[in-house]
């Protein structure tokens, strides 16, 4: 992930945090806030995928599967 994408991801996470704090102040229950955060982070991950993290996860999964055999 290049610097520009990382910056966009940070900005997106900050926006999610700010919106969640506003929701909490407005009296939305914690489950509603948590659902919003989860959905927003998932959407952000689709918009700005981290291919390096994906490759690391695949490698770790493959190592684990080989150990199980």
Report d(CA 60, CA 10) in Å as an integer: 25
Which contiguous run of DSSP H or E holds residue 43? helix 30-47
Q: What are 22-59's pLDDT values in tens digits?
A: 999 999 999 999 999 999 999 999 999 988 889 999 99
| Token code pair at residue 4 | 């520009």
- Please state the domain extents for the chain: 3-68
pLDDT for the residue 40: 97
| pLDDT reported for residue 68 | 81
């Amino acid at each position: 992930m290049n610097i520009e994408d990382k910056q966009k991801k940070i900005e997106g996470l900050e926006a999610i945090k700010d919106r969640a704090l506003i929701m909490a102040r407005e009296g939305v229950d914690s489950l509603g806030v948590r659902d919003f955060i989860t959905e927003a982070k998932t959407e952000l991950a689709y918009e700005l995928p981290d291919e390096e993290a994906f490759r690391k996860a695949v490698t770790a999964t493959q190592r684990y599967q080989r150990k199980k055999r």
